[in-house]
Chain A
Amino acid sequence: MNAAFHLIYLACATGFVVGLHMMNSPATARRGNQVSAAAMAVAVGTTVVLLVRAGSVRPVGWLMLAAGAAVGGAAGLYAARTVAMTAMPQLVSVFNAVGGGAAALLAVDDLLRSGGAPVAAALDILIGAVTFSGSLVAAGKLQGWVPSQPIVFPGARALNVVLGVAFLGGGGWLVADPHNRPALVVLAVAALAFGVTMVLPIGGADMPVVISLLNAFTGTAVAMAGFVLGNPVLIIAGALVGASGGILTKLMADAMNRSIPSIIVGGFGTGDSAAPIAGPGGASVRAVAADDVAIQLAYAGKVIIVPGYGLAAAQAQHELAELADLLERRGVEVSYAIHPVAGRMPGHMNVLLAEANVPYPLLREMDDVNPEFARTDVALVIGANDVTNPAARRPGNPVSGMPILDVDQAHSVIVIKRSMGHGYAGIDNELYTNAKTGMYFADAKKGLAALTSAVKTLVG
């Protein structure tokens, strides 16, 4: 490979960095993604030229590459065009899986041929294989094909230890003897199995952390593949993704006030459907009707909407946007307070609301919006639970120390909820029994539609 090719790859790496940099504002983000895509196209084109000039690829090899590109490209294009925004976490997981899988295959191929960089190759196979199977299980959980509750079985911990010993042993053996096939098989199988046992015990609510972590793994696996092939552009791109995944993992874990190891060990997060407790329970909650809520909203000066995953699960973001739009046309100041973990992956709720045509300047981050609750007439909470629980400010309960939205500071609070069921933390939400909170018991989609029509009929 001569200097010209190195320089072109360097330009591509620069394109990736510039593309990521332009993601720092919604106004330039789309252009940034296009810069990054153009850099990728140049990298692929350069590689084709490199292969043609080397003349070492046999016709069957070209056929395999073309067939692989056609199959993968068609599958990727179809998935990207048709996926629902609510299913975005699954898709990202699948892309993590195939990226990690491809990186692991590169190392397998290298070990079968030359075995020149056994340490990087062993790490690549380990990380890539864990990412591959782990991401597929995560996608299955998000899609509902695998139960989203933490799946724990007797001896799971012992099995993990056995698998850990197996992949460490297999990896060490492979480093000592790079051409040893059984060692390669032991490493690959143990890593694939470990990916499954790592993700199975993790609950649905912890998915934002898991996806971010697997994203970081994929990036690292690709960087390792770069070490194996001695190709800096793979190392740079992989490291960028590793950094991105790492930052997001940390942000998500902080937003849930949980350490990354405790999430991996599992046990706290439960399924999507926390068992509903029938009707308003013993504590004194104030139930309100659609008409009352509609009047309160229509005559408010400032309303902050607090959406949670329940909103997305009920597919009610369009009804919400319609109600907000109606209120805004009446002169009500409406904005959205979005907790970092309101969704199944980082920033998921923002995408769901953007899809429902909510302008992004109205989407406010937690630290930015919290001081405004005290000046807010009505806080409308839909499908969010633990992230609004004032108990988090006190020590000694499962949500203690978790950063929350200061919903209870608003002059009045309306919570749309089907029942008094618990959130993932499994504790009562003190917001619901607060004297200024009105509980509107309804399904999010139907409830919001009822509010919209009530506002229209009552106040025109």
Chain B
Amino acid sequence: MSADLVFDLTVFVLSLLVGFEVISKVPATLHTPLMSGANSIHGIVVVGAMLIATTADDWVGYLLAFVAMAFATMNVVGGYVVTDRMLGMFRTRGGAK
């Protein structure tokens, strides 16, 4: 097992623990925006999609870069916008609108 893999696994496990800790405090009222917001966070895969392009030099590589980029951007942009739209609806009495 290489040192890099051990490092990556450490990051993975600690992040899972942080995730459990932070997310278990979110009230049920916000579970839909939470899921949709978490959804946008996994849109970080867009960074990976861009890295594909560094090695792309034939049509397979270009096609993969294009499709991965389209999927990931849809995930990021759509996720953040719809989460914001939902959270904008939560208001206390006499709030905006």
Interface residues, chain A, with chain B CB atoms under 8 Å away: 13, 16-17, 19-21, 23-26, 29-30, 32-34, 36-37, 40, 43-44, 47-48, 51, 54, 56-58, 60-62, 64-65, 67-69, 71-73, 75-77, 79-81, 83, 85, 88, 91-92, 95-96, 98-99, 101-103, 105-106, 108-109, 112-113, 117, 211-212, 215, 218-219, 222-223, 225-227, 229-248, 251, 338, 340, 343, 345-348, 350-351, 354-355, 357, 359-361, 363, 365
Contacts and interface: CB of A to CB of B under 8 A. Distances in A.
A92 B39 contact: yes
Contacts of B27: 24-26, 365
Given A65-B50, A215-B39, A241-B42, A30 B30 contact: no
A360 B27 CA distance: 11
Interface centre among A67, A80, A230 (most CB of B within 10 A): A80
B73 A73 contact: yes
A350 B39 contact: no
Nearest to A69: B73
A30 B87 CA distance: 5
B66 A67 contact: yes
Contacts of B52: 105-106, 109
Nearest to A48: B50
Contacts of A34: 84
A72 B20 contact: no
Contact of A232 (B11, B20, B51, B90): B11
Given A102-B45, A225-B45, A338-B28, A215 B38 contact: yes
A251 B20 CA distance: 13
Contact of A72 (B15, B31, B60, B72): B72
Contacts of A33: 33, 37, 40, 80, 83-84, 87
Contacts of B48: 102-103, 106, 225-226, 229, 231, 234
Nearest to B55: A113
26 contacts: A20-B22, A23-B37, A24-B27, A33-B33, A43-B47, A51-B50, A73-B74, A76-B78, A80-B81, A91-B78, A95-B39, A95-B40, A98-B72, A102-B46, A102-B72, A105-B52, A105-B67, A108-B64, A109-B64, A112-B60, A117-B5, A239-B11, A243-B23, A251-B28, A347-B33, A354-B86
B67 A92 contact: no
A241 B40 CA distance: 9
Sorted nearest first, the 7 A-B pairs with minimum C-beta distance are: A243-B19, A68-B69, A76-B78, A347-B31, A72-B73, A239-B15, A346-B31
Nearest to B36: A92
B93 A359 contact: yes
Contact of B19 (A225, A234, A244): A244
Contacts of A211: 35
Interface residues of B, number: 84
A241 B64 contact: no
Contacts of B38: 20, 215, 219, 240-241, 244-245
B90 to A, nearest CB: 4
A44 B46 contact: yes
Given A36-B80, A360-B90, A240 B18 contact: yes
A365 B29 contact: yes
A59 to B, nearest CB: 11
A26 B51 CA distance: 36
A17 B22 contact: yes
A293 to B, nearest CB: 25
A300 to B, nearest CB: 20
A71 B60 contact: no
A23 B18 CA distance: 14
A241 B91 CA distance: 26
B77 A77 contact: yes
A24 B79 CA distance: 18
A133 to B, nearest CB: 14
Interface in B5-26: 5, 8, 11-13, 15-20, 22-26
A29 B54 contact: no
A97 B29 CA distance: 25
A95 B31 CA distance: 16
A243 B62 contact: no
Given A33-B87, A75-B78, A105 B68 contact: yes
Given A40-B80, A51-B54, A241-B41, A346 B35 contact: yes
A64 B61 CA distance: 10
B72 A235 contact: no
Nearest to A32: B37
